[in-house]
C-alpha cells in the first residue's frame, strides 16, 4: 500500500513519538493523581504533544472495563475514540490523529465515512488503529457473538479491505461474502490519502502478528525483557515476516509507560508507589485473564507473566528514570530497530512538560530526532 508522505508518522525522525491512552485511565492503579478522562485535560494533553512536535496521538477503544459488577470502576470511563479524534484534529496543527475501532461493533461504511471526515478536518493527518476485540464483556453488551481467535482475524482482514476499497474506489461495487452483503457500495468524500490512510495494529499471538505484517503500516508490539538484544530479535522477526512473506515494509512501534522525574531515586520511588503499593489488583486480574483467554495464550506463559508484572505500571514497557536515563533507553530502542514509541503516563501534563524540556533535546543531540 502506497503511503502519503504527508502524514506525520512518516517523518524523517528515526524515532517517532506519540501519546497513547489519553482518553481513559492509563494504568491499573488506585493513586488519586491518576489521569481521569475529561475533555479539558484531553485537549490540553493533545495540544502539548502537538507543540512538542510529536507524531501521533492514539486513543484506545474500550466499551467496558475489567472489573465485573463494579459500576464505578475507573476502567469503564473511556471517551469514544472517533469523536475524540475529530475534536483533537480541529484543535491541533501537525500531529497525526488516530482513532481506534473494534471492527465487529461497527459497519465498514460507517467507519469509512467517519475516517474521511476526520481526515478532512485534520488536513490529511488521520490514521486508524484497528482491533478485532478481545474483551468479551464488551461483546456481551453489544449482544454480538465473539468469534474464535482465527475467525476474528479473517473477519478483520475483510473488514479492513472493504474500508480501503471505500476510501479509494472510483465507482460503486457489490460485495457478497460470508461476512458482508453490500450493493452499490460507495463512500464520498474519500480521504485525501485515499486507501493509504496509515493503519496501526497490535497482535500478541502468531495469528495477530501475521495479520499486522500483512495488512498494517505500523505494527504495535510489546517489547519483552530488558535486554536490547532481545528487543532487536523481536523487531527483526516482525519486519522479516512482513518483508519475506508479504513483500512489505512496515514500521514497528511499541507502547511504553513513562515515569520521568528529576532523579533516578525519585522515579523508582514513584514507580513503586503507584504500581506496587497502590496497584489495582482486581483490574489486573480481570485484564490478564481476559487477554490471555481471548488471544489463545496461556496465563502462565512467559508473555502473560511478563505482562502481569508490568500491567500495573501502565501500558507497555516501563521507561523510568531521569531525563538522561529515559533518553538513553529510547535511543537503545531505536538501535533495536523500533520506529516509534507511544507513551502513557500517570500525569500526562507533567510527563509532556519534562519530555519536551529535558528529553527531546537529548534525542536530537543523539541524532534520532530533529529539533522542534
Average pLDDT on 176-185 reads: 96
pLDDT at position 136 is: 84
pLDDT at position 184 is: 98
Residue with cell 467517519: 114
pLDDT at position 1 is: 39
Place 3 in a pLDDT band, splitting at 50, 70 and 90.
very low
Inform me whether the pLDDT recorded for 2 exceeds 50.
no
Q: DSSP H helical segments within 64-188, as ranges?
A: 81-91, 108-122, 136-142, 149-168
Q: Please calculate the CA angle 332-337-341 and round it to the nearest 5 degrees.
A: 70
Number of domains in the chain: 1
Inform me whether the pLDDT recorded for 300 exceeds 80.
no
Q: How many residues does the chain have?
A: 372
Structural contact between residues 186 and 172, judged by C-beta atoms closer than 8 angstroms? yes
Q: How many other C-beta atoms are found inside a 10 Å radius of the C-beta of residue 117? A: 17
Where is pLDDT greater, at 127 or 224? Answer: 127
- Give the H or E element holding residue 124: none
Place 71 in a pLDDT band, splitting at 50, 70 and 90.
very high
| CA separation for the pair 291, 99 (Å, rounded) | 21
| CA separation for the pair 311, 222 (Å, rounded) | 12
Rg (CA), the chain: 20
Tell whether 66 is covered by a domain. yes
Tell whether 3 is covered by a domain. no
Average pLDDT on 278-284 reads: 91
Place 4 in a pLDDT band, splitting at 50, 70 and 90.
very low
| CA separation for the pair 109, 266 (Å, rounded) | 50
pLDDT at position 126 is: 98
Spatial CA neighbour of 61 closest among 107, 102, 115, 112: 102
Q: Which CATH number covers residue 136?
A: 3.20.20.30
- Give residue-wise pLDDT tens across range 18-28: 999 999 999 99
Inform me whether the pLDDT recorded for 305 exceeds 80.
no
pLDDT at position 5 is: 52
pLDDT at position 298 is: 78
Full residue range of the structural domain in which residue 255 is found: 8-365
pLDDT at position 295 is: 66
Tell whether 210 is covered by a domain. yes
Tell whether 199 is covered by a domain. yes
Q: What percent of the chain has pLDDT over 90?
A: 78
pLDDT at position 192 is: 93
Tell whether 372 is covered by a domain. no
User: For 64-68, 212-216, 255-259, 290-294, which range has the lowest pLDDT when averaged over its residues?
Assistant: 290-294
Inform me whether the pLDDT recorded for 92 exceeds 50.
yes
Tell whether 179 is covered by a domain. yes
| CA separation for the pair 168, 179 (Å, rounded) | 21
| CA separation for the pair 33, 178 (Å, rounded) | 48
| CA separation for the pair 98, 42 (Å, rounded) | 14
| CA separation for the pair 75, 23 (Å, rounded) | 11
| CA separation for the pair 133, 103 (Å, rounded) | 7
Average pLDDT on 246-260 reads: 96
Average pLDDT on 301-316 reads: 75
- Give the H or E element holding residue 125: none
Where is pLDDT greater, at 215 or 313? Answer: 215
User: For 43-47, 272-276, 308-312, which range has the lowest pLDDT when averaged over its residues?
Assistant: 308-312
Average confidence score pLDDT of the chain: 92
Q: How many other C-beta atoms are found inside a 10 Å radius of the C-beta of residue 36? A: 12
pLDDT at position 358 is: 98
Average pLDDT on 97-116 reads: 96
Q: DSSP H helical segments within the chain, as ranges?
A: 39-51, 81-91, 108-122, 136-142, 149-168, 206-215, 228-246, 264-272, 281-294, 302-311, 323-335, 348-354, 360-365
Backbone angles phi, psi at 275, to 5 degrees: -95, -20
Tell whether 2 is covered by a domain. no
Place 294 in a pLDDT band, splitting at 50, 70 and 90.
low
Tell whether 371 is covered by a domain. no
pLDDT at position 293 is: 74
The cell numbers describing 92, all together, are 491541533
Where is pLDDT greater, at 2 or 53? Answer: 53
User: For 1-10, 200-209, 230-239, 309-318, which range has the lowest pLDDT when averaged over its residues?
Assistant: 1-10
pLDDT at position 196 is: 93
Amino acid at each position: 500500500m502506497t503511503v502519503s508522505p504527508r502524514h506525520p508518522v512518516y517523518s524523517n525522525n528515526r524515532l517517532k513519538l506519540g501519546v497513547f491512552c489519553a482518553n481513559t485511565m492509563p494504568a491499573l492503579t488506585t493513586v488519586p493523581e491518576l489521569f481521569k478522562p475529561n475533555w479539558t485535560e484531553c485537549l490540553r494533553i493533545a495540544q502539548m504533544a502537538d507543540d512538542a512536535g510529536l507524531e501521533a496521538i492514539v486513543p484506545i477503544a474500550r466499551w467496558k472495563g475489567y472489573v465485573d459488577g463494579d459500576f464505578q470502576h475507573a476502567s469503564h470511563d473511556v471517551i469514544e475514540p472517533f469523536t475524540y479524534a475529530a475534536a483533537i484534529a480541529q484543535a491541533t496543527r501537525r500531529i497525526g490523529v488516530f482513532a481506534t475501532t473494534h471492527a465487529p461493533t461497527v459497519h465498514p461504511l460507517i467507519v469509512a465515512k467517519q475516517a474521511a471526515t476526520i481526515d478532512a478536518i485534520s488536513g490529511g493527518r488521520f490514521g486508524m488503529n484497528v482491533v478485532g476485540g478481545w474483551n468479551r464483556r464488551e461483546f456481551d453488551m453489544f449482544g454480538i457473538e465473539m468469534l474464535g481467535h482465527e475467525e476474528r482475524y479473517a473477519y478483520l482482514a475483510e473488514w479492513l479491505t472493504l474500508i480501503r476499497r471505500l476510501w479509494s474506489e472510483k465507482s460503486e461495487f457489490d460485495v457478497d461474502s460470508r461476512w458482508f452483503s453490500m450493493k452499490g457500495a460507495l463512500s464520498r468524500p474519500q480521504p485525501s490519502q485515499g486507501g493509504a490512510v496509515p493503519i496501526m495494529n497490535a497482535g500478541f499471538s502468531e495469528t495477530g502478528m501475521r495479520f499486522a505484517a500483512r495488512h498494517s503500516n505500523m505494527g504495535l508490539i510489546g517489547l519483552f525483557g530488558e535486554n536490547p538484544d532481545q528487543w532487536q530479535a523481536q523487531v527483526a522477526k516482525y519486519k522479516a515476516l512482513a518483508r519475506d512473506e508479504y513483500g512489505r515494509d512496515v514500521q514497528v512501534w511499541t507502547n511504553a509507560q513513562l515515569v520521568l522525574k528529576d532523579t533516578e531515586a525519585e522515579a523508582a520511588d514513584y514507580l513503586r508507589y503507584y504500581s506496587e503499593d497502590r496497584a489495582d489488583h482486581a483490574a489486573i486480574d480481570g485484564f490478564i485473564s481476559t487477554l490471555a483467554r481471548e488471544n489463545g495464550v496461556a496465563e502462565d506463559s512467559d508473555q502473560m507473566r511478563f505482562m502481569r508484572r508490568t500491567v500495573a505500571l501502565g501500558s507497555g514497557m516501563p521507561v523510568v528514570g531521569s531525563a538522561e536515563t529515559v533518553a538513553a533507553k529510547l535511543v537503545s530502542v531505536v538501535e533495536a530497530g523500533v520506529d516509534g514509541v507511544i507513551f502513557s503516563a500517570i500525569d500526562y501534563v507533567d510527563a509532556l512538560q519534562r519530555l519536551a524540556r529535558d528529553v527531546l533535546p537529548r534525542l536530537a543531540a543523539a541524532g534520532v530526532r530533529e529539533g522542534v
